[in-house]
Amino acid sequence: MDYSLAWLSYRRLPFYEEKEYFQKLYVQGEDGITSSAVYEICRGAEEILGIRTEIVRLPVSVGNEKSEVKEGIYLFLDSNGPSGGGYRIFEEKGVIWITAAEPEGLLYGSFELIRQVQRERTLKGLELLRIPENPLRMLNHWDNLDGSIERGYSGKSFFFRDNEVLVGKRTEDYARLAASVGINGVVINNVNVTERATKLITCEYAISLKRMGEVFSKYGIRLYLSLNFAAPIELGGLATADPEAMEVREWWQAQMKETFRNIPSLGGFLVKADSEGRPGPFTYDRTQAQGANMLAEAVKPYGGIIIWRCFVYNCTQDWRDQKTDRARSAYDYFMPLDGDFHENVILQIKNGPMDFQVREPVSPLFGALSKTNQILEVQIAQEYTGQQKHVCYLIPQFKEILGFHTRCREEGDTVADIISGRCFSRRNCGMAAVANTGSDSNWTGHDLAAANWYGFGRLAFEPSLSAEDIAREWCECTFGTNAQVVHAVCKILMMSWPAYEKYTSPLGIGWMVNPNNHYGPSVDGYEYDRWGTYHRADHLGIGVERGKAGTGFAQTYLEPNASIYEEAETCPEELLLFFHYIPYTYMLKSGKTLIQHIYDSHFEGVEDVEKIIGLWEGLRELVPGEIFDRVKLRMEHQLESSLEWRDQINSYFYRKSFIADEKGRTIY
Amino acid sequence: MDYSLAWLSYRRLPFYEEKEYFQKLYVQGEDGITSSAVYEICRGAEEILGIRTEIVRLPVSVGNEKSEVKEGIYLFLDSNGPSGGGYRIFEEKGVIWITAAEPEGLLYGSFELIRQVQRERTLKGLELLRIPENPLRMLNHWDNLDGSIERGYSGKSFFFRDNEVLVGKRTEDYARLAASVGINGVVINNVNVTERATKLITCEYAISLKRMGEVFSKYGIRLYLSLNFAAPIELGGLATADPEAMEVREWWQAQMKETFRNIPSLGGFLVKADSEGRPGPFTYDRTQAQGANMLAEAVKPYGGIIIWRCFVYNCTQDWRDQKTDRARSAYDYFMPLDGDFHENVILQIKNGPMDFQVREPVSPLFGALSKTNQILEVQIAQEYTGQQKHVCYLIPQFKEILGFHTRCREEGDTVADIISGRCFSRRNCGMAAVANTGSDSNWTGHDLAAANWYGFGRLAFEPSLSAEDIAREWCECTFGTNAQVVHAVCKILMMSWPAYEKYTSPLGIGWMVNPNNHYGPSVDGYEYDRWGTYHRADHLGIGVERGKAGTGFAQTYLEPNASIYEEAETCPEELLLFFHYIPYTYMLKSGKTLIQHIYDSHFEGVEDVEKIIGLWEGLRELVPGEIFDRVKLRMEHQLESSLEWRDQINSYFYRKSFIADEKGRTIY
């Protein structure tokens, strides 16, 4: 095998004291998912504990009568147990019970049980009840059929190569890893659907996609595809893709009938329409709702859903135009349509109004949309956060987003409340992450980037987990429980996002990256471009005025957020330059001027990277040599890159402002 | 035919009065070049005048005895006539004589005769003596074997496609066009020689290259190839390409024996070594002379030459480093080697010390090197001058370069004097241009860009021609003699380079382009990069200090140039920012401050483009519709692009300096 199993690469624990539970596994049911649960427990027991578990099949009629049970583990389907993928694990008198209303719960419980062993936790007296908060917990892969990955930083696709779909051992191992952290939906192809990818819905790919869907299903994962809104033209030979045209509707209905017959386990489709050159309903003067609903009708007979991205904006903006504001786009396009979407349509909303920057406010659509299914889209592919060459653990960012109070009601108004469905009593909702995996032997290029994959799944399942808890979990599963390792790795992870923010673009302004590849500093890289991403820096200050005097974006938030963002004095400082043009001499709450804050934070960011390297250095003998070296190499590059960021940003602002650094450090 | 013949697309002139000369053509000799001369006269006569010329073959013994001649045209080889490709044309008593010492002269004379007809000049009493000043007049094509062209802006290669060499009708028409303006050497493949192109010297390409060489030879053109210094490793399987290693020398000797046997007409090789990642003698701690001489020895038995580019510099510079100066590189590397190169080595020196910017000083190697063969390299591919989307007639720039007084001696010290060989009595020297042609139907993308191809050839042949004369010639051949057309087109051409300079980077600072593609404005695009190309702009001023207090580059020139460049007061203002860091408030000779000059010239540049469009608009009915529309479309794009340049540059400097435009125009 030319790849590791990441956090499922089990280490042998010869001294683990509670092996005995694993001698016998009692199980009802022989469905695919339960079989996977059995397989996972047996595999864990064998690889970690060296035990060959005896599997005892129980008749389905055997009920709850605990008097009859013997020592061992019981996988027990209980219609009164936790549902929706939830599970209960408890130990009682030498017996470990994993109970759930559905097989998915048994699978997740089994992974959790093994995780407890990996983490060397005691099982005696164990009592866990876990119910996933988000109904949909999805990964979006931006994989192309030629094997490349858009914004992929970990090698090639393991789903596609040379226009073929790949289904094999790696597909199954991928499904194991994803399911182990609770992922239950996967979009395998790029949202930019062109050329051959348009044909994924045709019979040409039916056999391989059906097989992939089956592999996924065994692990409780639904297969989804991205689709091309112009398929009626490109595949069907129609003259139009107008969602209101009868022939278009009929074409989609016929095509979906065929597609779902070909791939029975298909969950539905992800659609990027009217964005960055992709076709969509706007071409035909139709609304986004008309486009989405038309597709929703076509997939409805098969239980399919349409996940419609809200990433719609004018990408041919004139940089001279200070009125148009890309940050407003999603809100302006979709807010008026609240309530117009069919029940099997879900709007997938990026966490912020721009595009996965290191710091953005939360999208104002959250809390504003009350009659629409919503998925929160985040990006664990580190497109703008170091591209898996820099360590940047993003779970703390996601936690902040989930915890944001939208003020849509007095309580239970956070993003987490909304996307779980409980705020507005909706069922089709959840979280999606743009995936960070590829064919690299460690799946994620940077070994520490696997914490983002792991963490996203765990967080989507259980948003109340803290970022530190997740880091520790991942670290213990990946590197074992050595306290020094866990301490250092967790510290590295928890330092990493703040460090990245310090040495890159300041206080929410974002961008300042090289165009196209989005890597490395270029302060003016997007300043005079068409993408609506400006910093407006001049001799006296920097920032985009998004209050009432500017683009008015601050007013798209519910009160009191709108008022808080409206004024520089009340605006959270980490977002200050996102919402306001601020003079370099403006005094921050820290008592530093803005320009001094820029200088200081950039020096600090580099120092943080040096600390991170120091922490990693201390693990030389404590983590596998291959991983140590691989991470070390990337950290050395990160240091060099962070120096480049520091010096370019500081030089840019010094040359522009001519305000010297108070501490007299070298600025070029 | 899916392409035009550019300036050889003859128009019928039914009213031309001096057709009679063309009834008969008397010719001695049947060599290939003379045959081409005959063909060209006959083809011109037929297409322009509608005459089928009778060819009368004269015995070679017939001499100068004019008593015996009859009316018509005589192509006459005369060993006492002009040599080196020179010719004499004169009319006497109804006879036009074209005499020359070599067939090349007859060919060039024939093209000139046809040109006279195209331009509707009277032939009666004609008397022309033309001897090409530069022995080598070369085009360098940067064509790759896959059919792409590096810095190609006119379609694909017509020399290569899918790793095959193309030889056909277009090759011949290309040779006709090139020969018609006096080109006598062509390098067909990219100086960056990688992968398959390395094999061009092997028997794999022998048949097709031999054929291409023959097509070229008929038009007096020698075929040259670019070669890969690492070929001994890549082709020969040796462990080294060290020019002092015996096995390397032997490998090259054996390979060259084979190559010249395969392609007997081959002229030699162009080499880019130790530059931008290309291998070279530095890899083995050898000098550029050791590398070049080793190859020169290998090609010497076959009369071959090695053209060695001086484009050697550190392309991994740290932008923070203000001491290293790319401008110095060629001088520092090559000046100490003056006199060390073999007679059949020629150093090919770019016109300026950087890289074909819209404005640069002349390379200080010219005048400094006195014991070395030299070729002046210019670029008609408009890499940094609008990429054949903008009209930018470069002959005025080349004229300035040729006319530059190097001060290597009291008189006859210009670049033209040096590269013609007369200054230091050398034979292997001349001019080369990076070509601007491709598979586009008009050869050069922009129809007006053909004037650069035409002009380069004519200028290399006859450097004393003025840029206006050349523009007029080209225009009359291309569009005919209508005075309005000639006036407008010449005016457009002559305005175009100054206009481009006005709206792009100011006063010799260069760059400010988008990285990689080198198109469109990005003021800081290369400012924090590794290429040694900086403007060092800050709040107070801009420019690179290259006097003694800076990098000392000014001192690489001979006196009094060194002193002139040393001081801002005496430095020619168009080069002010190349040589000095200058405050925005510095007063220029025009009475404007530097910043006001930047603002004004950028507004003016756009106004010039508007004037250019107005001039072209006036030709709607006077030039072929297809050409009119094609040029119009490009000019509209040029206007948009020039606006972008203007606004970005002005906004950049306004935001940085905060000095307002005196005229209160909109700056963003």
Question: Over the stretch A103-137, which tens digit does the pLDDT of each residue have?
Answer: 999 999 999 999 999 999 999 999 999 999 999 99
Residue B337: per-residue pLDDT: 98
Q: Which one is the CATH code of A6-130: 3.30.465.10, 3.40.640.10, 3.40.630.30, 3.30.379.10?
A: 3.30.379.10
- The residues with which B72 forms a beta bridge, in sequence order, are B95
Q: Residues of A with CB below 8 A from B528's CB?
A: 521-522, 644, 647-648, 651
Cβ-Cβ pairs closer than 8 A, A with B, add up to: 53
Is B276 catalytic? The answer is yes
The answer to whether B232 touches B252, Cβ cutoff 8 Å, is yes
Residue A656: per-residue pLDDT: 97
CA angle at B575 for the pair B570 and B576, rounded to the nearest 5°: 60
Instruction: Extract the tokens encoding A29.
Output: 């049911």
Q: Answer whether B656 sits within 8 Å of A656, measured CB to CB.
A: yes
DSSP secondary structure code for residue A409 in this structure? S
Question: For residue range A591-616, what is the model confidence (pLDDT) as tens digits?
Answer: 999 999 999 999 999 999 999 999 99
Q: Answer whether B538 sits within 8 Å of A648, measured CB to CB.
A: no
Residue B58: per-residue pLDDT: 87
- What's the whole-number mean pLDDT along residues A71-98? 95
Query: Residue B494: CA atoms inside 13 Å, Cβ hemisphere, count?
Result: 14
Query: Which residues of chain B carry a pLDDT beneath 50?
Result: none
Considering only CB atoms, A528 lies closest to which of B538, B539, B648, namely: B648
Considering only CB atoms, A537 lies closest to which of B514, B538, B655, namely: B655
- What's the whole-number mean pLDDT along residues A253-268? 98
Q: Answer whether B522 sits within 8 Å of A524, measured CB to CB.
A: yes
Q: What are the residue ranges spanned by the domains of chain A? A: 6-130, 136-477, 503-544+581-657
CA angle at B299 for the pair B295 and B301, rounded to the nearest 5°: 140
Q: Suggest the residue from A524, A544, A645 to mutate for an interface test with chain B (most B CBs closer than 10 A).
A: A524
Instruction: Extract the tokens encoding A577.
Output: 């330059």
Residue from B418, B396, B395, B394 nearest B405 by CA: B418
CATH assignment of B136-473? 3.20.20.80
Q: How far is CA A5 from CA A1, A173, A470, B236, B373, in A?
A: 10, 7, 18, 44, 64
B60-69 — which CB contacts under 8 Å span 24+ positions? B60/B28, B60/B29, B62/B28, B66/B92, B66/B95, B69/B26, B69/B95
A contact set with B (CB within 8 A): 319-320, 514-515, 521-525, 528, 537-540, 644, 647-648, 651-652, 654-658, 668
Q: Answer whether A523 sits within 8 Å of B522, measured CB to CB.
A: no
Residue B1: per-residue pLDDT: 73
Which amino acid, one-letter code, is at A548? K
A69 pLDDT above the threshold of 90: no
Q: Which residue of B has its CA nearest to A667?
A: B320
The answer to whether A622 touches A475, Cβ cutoff 8 Å, is no
Q: Answer whether A539 sits within 8 Å of B539, measured CB to CB.
A: yes
Q: Answer whether A647 sits within 8 Å of B538, measured CB to CB.
A: no
The answer to whether A177 touches A216, Cβ cutoff 8 Å, is no
A277 pLDDT above the threshold of 90: no
ipTM greater than 0.85:
yes
Instruction: Please name the CATH architecture into which domain A503-544+581-657 falls.
Output: Alpha-Beta Complex (3.90)
Q: Which residue of B has its CA nearest to A659?
A: B539
- The residues with which B369 forms a beta bridge, in sequence order, are B366
Separation CA B606–CA B644 (nearest Å):
10
Q: Suggest the residue from B316, B519, B528, B649 to mutate for an interface test with chain A (most A CBs closer than 10 A).
A: B528
Verify cis geometry, omega within 30 degrees of 0, for the bond prior to B135: no
Q: Residues of B with CB below 8 A from A648's CB?
A: 528
Separation CA B118–CA B99 (nearest Å):
21
Residue B78: per-residue pLDDT: 93
A398: confidence class by pLDDT, cuts 50, 70, 90: very high
Residue B418 makes CB contacts below 8 A (sequence gap 6+) with: B366, B367, B374, B406, B408, B424, B429
Given the residues B112, B173, B355, B360, the one annotated as active site: B355
DSSP secondary structure code for residue B434 in this structure? E
Q: Residues of B with CB below 8 A from A654's CB?
A: 538
- Map tokens 């095509």 to a residue: A255
How far apart are the CA of A644 and the nearest CA of chain B, in angstroms?
A: 9
Q: Which residue of A has its CA nearest to B652?
A: A538
Q: Residues of B with CB below 8 A from A538's CB?
A: 654-656, 658
Considering only CB atoms, B537 lies closest to which of A644, A655, A668, namely: A655
Which amino acid, one-letter code, is at B335? M
Considering only CB atoms, B647 lies closest to which of A320, A647, A654, namely: A320
The answer to whether B436 touches B378, Cβ cutoff 8 Å, is no
Question: For residue range B258-272, what is the model confidence (pLDDT) as tens digits?
Answer: 999 999 999 999 999
The answer to whether B433 touches B379, Cβ cutoff 8 Å, is yes
Q: Residues of A with CB below 8 A from B651's CB?
A: 528
Residue A275: per-residue pLDDT: 86
Q: How far is CA B504 from CA B499, B500, B515, B603, B648, in A?
A: 9, 6, 15, 11, 10
Residue A410 makes CB contacts below 8 A (sequence gap 6+) with: none
- How many residues can be counted in chain A? 668
- What's the whole-number mean pLDDT along residues A222-234? 97
Residue B278: per-residue pLDDT: 85
Q: Answer whether B651 sits within 8 Å of A528, measured CB to CB.
A: yes
Instruction: Please name the CATH architecture into which domain A136-477 falls.
Output: Alpha-Beta Barrel (3.20)
Residue from B333, B326, B371, B335 nearest B353 by CA: B326
The Cβ of residue B267 has, within 10 Å, a number of other Cβ atoms equal to: 25
Residue A278: per-residue pLDDT: 85
Element (H, E) at B24: strand B24-27
Q: Mean pLDDT over all residues of chain A?
A: 96
A579: confidence class by pLDDT, cuts 50, 70, 90: very high
